[in-house]
Structure 1
């Protein structure tokens, strides 16, 4: 079933997103998968609330929402290259986002962002706050992360330059990540002291992996 909706749009400046809904039945109930196809030039992803975003790199941009999200307290918007995804339901809303080349990720609330397979971008800026979590496997030329509050991030892959800002209670895991040039600034005294005295490497700054259970 194909249709075009404007219910996603809170103002006329938002672009109309084409929607294609399909349904896959299981033994107990029916689960809806909502596919949004009319997306172009996504450069920034903003996640808020109780959402889990699976980030994939693909030649064609699209979004797959694993639920009939438009009947709930959830929202997907695109404006000027920025894709906003939010949900405040009790159960997390899972969304797969297919992008060509993004440069910014922002997440807050209880949002979780995970890459599926390794992605490659020239530049990537990641900002996490509240209880947001990210697990990013990427190769980049330039990578910047700003993790505050009780947010946490696990990085793998490589970057030519990596700059990070870490809050007092935030978590950073660099076990499988390499950078030619790195600068990690932390509000936690022990990390700030070690970095200033150049007594640690990236791997010495390891903190508990929030995804390891």
Structure 2
């Protein structure tokens, strides 16, 4: 065989080998990589670990958390509030009920409250439409904002903080603050450690010296 012919043949084979290698690498990179979604130690298939729970127990109607706050209340006598006699607890003796620093679901002046969502809908393009309940009127708010009917409440003159309407003392209890210019205006307590020697970490939230009474001036 002519040496020049041999060199040509080797070059031709080398080109073929390169083409084959490139083709193999391309096929490998294009192949779909399937990652097992199960732990290697589990042989049986697992159900999705998504669980929806809805608590509709009576405590969902309470106006305070945690539950143990109720055992620390100091109340005396009853007061009629929209047709029902409730155990009356003065705010000065029970400020922790009406301070968002302790009762995490009570009014917090640092938050902006939007009306709750009434309806959520989707169109064919996947756009979301959220419809909310109308804004409440401060001097003429519904007692039951979800019903949007029935008894109304003037938060500037007739407010009491209803904490429970059925469980404690049969008909529940509420917290009443001192009047402002003769009116029972909506109120809250601000927790202020500058006025007392305790702190929240001491779990001594009953110290009335730690609180300052504030009235809601606008809605």
TM-score range normalised by the length of the shorter chain = under 0.3
The structure whose RCO (Cα within 8 Å, separation 6+) is larger is 2
Structure with more helix by fraction: 2
Structure number with larger C-alpha Rg? 2
TM-score normalized with structure 1 length: 0.20
TM-score normalized with structure 2 length: 0.19
Structure with more strand by fraction: 1
